Amino acid sequence: MGRAQAAELVSDVFVSSQRWDDALEWIKLAQQALIASDYVNAEKEYRNCLYEKRIKIEGFIELLAHGLGFHLYRTANEQRHQGYHDKALATYDRLLDLHVKNRGKPLIIITGMDDPRINDSPIPDLYAAAAQVYRCESLLSLERFADATAALGAVVAQIEHPYRGEAFRLLGDVALEDRGDIATAESCYTQAITVLAQANAHARVMDRFQVPDVSRERTKPPRTMREHDGWGNLVWFQPEPGQVINADTCDWYADYQTLLAQTKRSMCLFLAGHTEAAIKDLDANLLLDPDDKVLTDRGIPSNYLRLRDGFRSGRLYATTGELGQFTGRALVKVAQAEIFFETEQWDDAIAAYSRIATDERLSLSVGARAYLDYARACALVFAGRREETTPFTVGFVGAKPEFRNTSTYWRALFLLGNLDQQQEPAILTRGANDCPDASLRLDFVLRLGQLAFCKQQDEDAIKYFSDLRSTAKPDDYRAIAATKPLCTKVHRM
């Protein structure tokens, strides 16, 4: 640990002489030296001390380069993305308070990390405008619905606010999360769509909300809303905390926000029993998401096709029986989580299912809890986080599993096979023989055939595929053709 302490002292010297880049390099060396010596047994307090020093130096370098406004904006976004919503709110509120307090003040040259004039630095209007909306996402996550409604109401009242359309969309989310109020939510989503259509026409004309020149590169948004990952799968963009994403900075911002709002509006129409209108609203997926249109035109499962077929059959990822386990506000919340799931927004889906499990726990039936666990496990698999699925599969394993008599049990069994390749053949064989759902039985048989084919067990593969062809009717293939190919995705990871 002595080498780490020596490097730390050198870093302190450079801090005193305001050589910030050198100070950062030496504090990094101190951390590396600690790891190389005896990191596991090193005092936690000292590890934390080095970490806090590094964060402070990095933050000050950032502050010098981009100003206090950017530093607070990026820090708050990072805290929000990490789920530290109370901390994020405090940072957003500090940004907004300083924006008001320091409006019109001249720029200040800061001389050190403890310079009290840091808090006299002016905050660009853009960062304050973004903070007004993003803090409401934290309020929503903390279920402070009244506070979120009031704050978003103040934003939508500002006609020229660059995030006004996004604020209307979030008001719709609040109506669903707080009260399960699909009528109010539908109205909010409609207003969001209207405002966002105008945003495209008026982008880049409000100089007041421009990113400062020095930070243009650092705040540059992703090039597209979706891209292909290393496996060739389409994934939604993951924003960096410092990126500024609005109609002035990003060509696809209004399209993306419209897509979110219109998809949620289609869900409201579906829940209200207006199936054809709900399907019509899904046209946004084809008009605004070129990648989804390509998949749809080729007849490959896409967000549009999954939602369209789900609406027509009166369900989404959950079966009709599983949806029947939910009523009232819980049903609305499940439908919202299913929209995230079917449009492959995995983190949002997991968070939405988890909120239902927590908020509605006193009223949930065994079947409802079974489905929420199963859905979270599936979403984690698709998100590439299969090591986190164990807490959500325990109810389906063992001699007397808790969820054995639920309608989700056999679907979960298929998932368990994917998660345990050694036990998969036995699990699939059991499903193929005993599953009471004829359509799901076909999935078990199909997967057995695929396994046999991959292992070059050709005779077994022919037998399974022949059985499948002889017993399946066209309608039985819905689960295979229109839903997510879980077994395929798992083995591609």
Whether 489 has a pLDDT exceeding 70, the answer reads no
Whether 347 has a pLDDT exceeding 60, the answer reads yes
Please report, for residues 196, 225, 341, 381, the alpha-carbon distance to residue 234 in angstroms, rounded to integers and kept in the order given: 25, 10, 14, 15
Residue 213 or 107, more confident: 213
Any domain includes 487: yes
> What is residue 114's DSSP assignment?
T
Range of the structural domain that residue 454 is part of: 420-493
Output the pLDDT for position 178. 92
Any domain includes 481: yes
Whether 114 has a pLDDT exceeding 80, the answer reads no
Output the pLDDT for position 472. 63
Whether 314 has a pLDDT exceeding 60, the answer reads yes
Q: What would the mean pLDDT of 375-395 be, rounded to a whole number?
A: 94
Whether 478 has a pLDDT exceeding 60, the answer reads no
Any domain includes 88: no
Q: For 149-158, what is each residue's pLDDT tens digit?
A: 999 999 999 9
Phi, psi (rounded to 5 degrees) for 227:
-150, 170
Q: What angle do CA 44, 49, 54 make, to 5 degrees?
A: 130
Any domain includes 91: no
Q: pTM, whole model, 2 decimals? A: 0.83
Residue 9 or 191, more confident: 191
At residue 205 the predicted structure's pLDDT band, cuts being 50, 70 and 90, is very low
- Residues 2 and 142: their CA atoms lie apart, in Å, by 44
At residue 174 the predicted structure's pLDDT band, cuts being 50, 70 and 90, is very high
Number of domains in the chain: 1
Whether 206 has a pLDDT exceeding 60, the answer reads no
Whether 160 has a pLDDT exceeding 50, the answer reads yes
- Could you write out the DSSP letters of every residue in 357-383? HHHTTTT--HHHHHHHHHHHHHHHHHT
Whether 490 has a pLDDT exceeding 50, the answer reads no
Any domain includes 295: no
Q: What would the mean pLDDT of 427-451 be, rounded to a whole number?
A: 90
Q: What would the mean pLDDT of 252-273 be, rounded to a whole number?
A: 95
Output the pLDDT for position 476. 44
Any domain includes 207: no
Output the pLDDT for position 218. 87
Output the pLDDT for position 150. 98
Q: What is the dihedral of CA 392, 393, 396, 399, to 10 degrees?
A: -120
Any domain includes 178: no
Whether 249 has a pLDDT exceeding 80, the answer reads yes
In the chain, how many H helices and how many E strands? 24, 2
Q: What would the mean pLDDT of 128-136 be, rounded to a whole number?
A: 97
Any domain includes 255: no
